[in-house]
Chain A
């Protein structure tokens, strides 16, 4: 018997709120509803993170409040929203607002008949239950947020489902948009990507608040599964209002010779925690983990990563870059784990903090746990201002100080953004990041 009353550990996410949520998804398969009930029980039972939890070192715990949120917000009409498109001609999209689908654009007609499925998670649960069951939230939460991951599963209402069959290439990227609207709204976005053997797909996930001045609670996740030889490119742009408390959980599984590239851009939220877990499950698997953060004001970005090498000849490359302005704070805590059998692993991990203010704070915890000897594992972490020599060079060429600094900062960003091969998508994201940097 737990001594503490469940409500104190649940905040706004009470049994009542959970029942109201269940009522909204009662048409979904029973196995899924059972899993949600089990997840809710785990959420309620789990304590809030404590100062002594290594997985929360340097994080601000006092501001992790679960009170004052609405888990079942009212619906929004798409025609009354200010929606910004993906900026890629002919790309399909799904737009969710307050956990519900409000607009969809099917894939290009040319892909019809290829077997690619781009639909809501609810429809997938009804029509492709076995596929969803095998991959949705199938990986354990390993980076400290068990409680919030359970909350995500319990309240997950709808999201995007992308399935690419064996040997099929999805030529156009697809866009998924998640909006939150109304004060106190809680959203639980999810994107599930399944790329079967030798399939290829690119997905862009956007997280936005409708109004800049509203406080939201966002607790989202994505599962990326790449079968043998598959290639998955996943880009996420987190741009919640600056009063939002945000959690994002990523689980990537790369099978034999698969390549997964995930790029997370962070600009929004008051406090944002991002956990990314890559499993290199079979020989030849590769995971490219990239992130770019632009931190303003008193924002806190807390990023935790795990590169788990379970098989021989696997490779991973992590590059997390943070640009810190004002009184912002970033935490990067990464771990490369090489299992005893995973010989010939090549893993890299790099965290670069660009200090653009005298009051910003950057924390780096780059970790390694290596149990095989024939490996190449390196990591690096740096924190510094813009290189004075580079600045001097630009100025000596007649470029003004402000412009020189901007050029160098954009150069700092481009090392990450340049990894996106799709030109239009690259340009869209570059524009957004530059806008974010200037505001």
Chain B
């Protein structure tokens, strides 16, 4: 099978659809209450302020209504009482693959993680359910002062940096799911890049859900100090269970003066996963934050990566590709909050709906009073493959004053029959022609991905298109 030769894991769904039986040493049980939160905090040996923070967040989570007045009613199908909130074999990640327990190591080997690490990564963290099983950074990068650990270690070993930024970009009460994450978070990466350091190779995190009825709530915090540059990639998979699984992460990025952060996601959860993620970055003076977001898996994804453009000339960008197949709803988009003069933002979102899949673009562009020289460009293109495919677009653009400019354009179309006819006349089958057309549709965005991913993305689209024509 082609999937077996796959050099890069994380894109092909069939690749992640396996499970090994694992005995968990730590288990917070099923359901959510104060005891669950206390249990998580105690096994992590957290300081009292953090337990208070978690308990307050739990209350906020309970007080907030489900956002179904604008979001899909499918959210009501999440049963918070049937989810397991913490499962792990231990809180300390291993530094070498040899130390990683066999069953977990097998999982990541099958996903190709250790191989990738050797080939082109500066550091890897592999999270298995609630905790990182493996975390390592290449010595040469560590020597530059780059910190790359999981959030638990970050809190313990670098509290002075962690506390300063933690929860500042995305406050607990930002939304119901950021509150849930704040209450029960575990795992995720903590990255600090010192001033002027440019990390040459990407850092990667890999998130794996192994247990059924499980909720994964990782918390990632990335700080690029003045003039620093870093590229972070995340991938994720889960086996296909018959019951739903919840993934609700919070990711905070801080790009200080002149820093650059690029955050690449290839989301490929099994299609029973509710993927409800809050991602936001703050870009200071001359800084740049770029989210490259690719959503292929999950049952329902709701994710709108945002950039708060806080310093002059800061730049924010979201490039998004979503592919929704039968039974999937990709509700994705972007938020650009301009808060300083001469800030610019760019959003390019492309979605493909196949079969009865539904893709939604939701966006916010906000340019408040008395700013000048701010610019936003937004383009959303949707491609509908089958007659019953569905797409929605819901942007919201607010501009004040006459010294700024925004432009928004969206289009919905299908693959042109002329194009398909031309390719067929050149000897391609209909499916090949369709794949080529779809790949052409996303080509300018796919190019922005690291080579390994963009090759794989193309291959995956071929797979998804196979059953869609005729």
Contacts and interface: CB of A to CB of B under 8 A. Distances in A.
Given A362-B399, A373-B414, A381 B387 contact: no
A279 B8 CA distance: 49
Give the secondary structure class of B's interface. Answer: strand
A361 B371 CA distance: 12
B408 A372 contact: no
A376 B404 contact: no
Nearest to A361: B400
A163 B99 CA distance: 86
A356 B399 CA distance: 12
Contacts of A52: 69
User: Could you say which of B70, B382, B385, B402 has the most chain A C-beta atoms within 10 Å of its C-beta?
Assistant: B402
A58 interface: yes
Contacts of A120: none
Nearest to B397: A364
Contacts of A431: none
A252 interface: no
Given A366-B410, A377-B411, A382-B408, A371 B388 contact: yes
B390 A371 contact: yes
A379 B414 contact: no
A381 B376 CA distance: 11
Contact of B412 (A361, A364, A377, A380): A377
Contact of B396 (A363, A379, A385): A363
A381 B402 contact: no
A367 B409 contact: no
24 contacts: A356-B402, A358-B370, A358-B400, A359-B400, A361-B398, A362-B400, A364-B395, A365-B396, A366-B393, A367-B392, A367-B394, A368-B412, A373-B385, A373-B414, A375-B413, A375-B414, A376-B413, A378-B409, A379-B410, A380-B410, A382-B408, A384-B405, A384-B406, A385-B403
Given A380-B407, A380-B410, A383-B404, 7 more contacts: A58-B398, A355-B401, A357-B402, A359-B401, A377-B413, A382-B407, A384-B402
A364 B387 contact: no
A363 B397 CA distance: 5
A378 B400 CA distance: 25
B369 interface: yes
Q: Sort A-B residue pairs by CB-CB distance and give the 8 closest, nearest first.
A: A373-B384, A355-B402, A384-B405, A383-B399, A368-B393, A385-B402, A377-B412, A358-B401
A360 B414 CA distance: 38
A370 B384 contact: yes
Nearest to B361: A368
Contact of B387 (A343, A361, A368, A378): A343
Interface string A316-357: 000000000000000000000000100100000000010111
Interface residues of A, number: 39
A122 B466 CA distance: 63
Given A358-B370, A369-B392, A382-B406, A374 B412 contact: no
Nearest to A367: B394
Interface string A38-61: 000000000000001110011000
Nearest to B405: A384
Contacts, number: 130
A353 B367 CA distance: 14
B391 interface: yes
B91 interface: no
Contacts of A359: 369, 400-401
Contacts of B370: 358
Contacts of A58: 396, 398
A373 B393 CA distance: 15
Contacts of B70: 54
A308 to B, nearest CB: 14
Nearest to A325: B402
A410 to B, nearest CB: 18
A360 B405 CA distance: 13
Interface in A15-67: 52-54, 57-58
A291 to B, nearest CB: 17
Contacts of B432: none
A373 B351 CA distance: 13
Contacts of A383: 397, 399, 404-406
A381 B397 contact: yes
B30 interface: no
A396 B64 CA distance: 59
Contacts of A343: 387
Contacts of A381: 395, 397, 406-408
A366 B387 contact: no
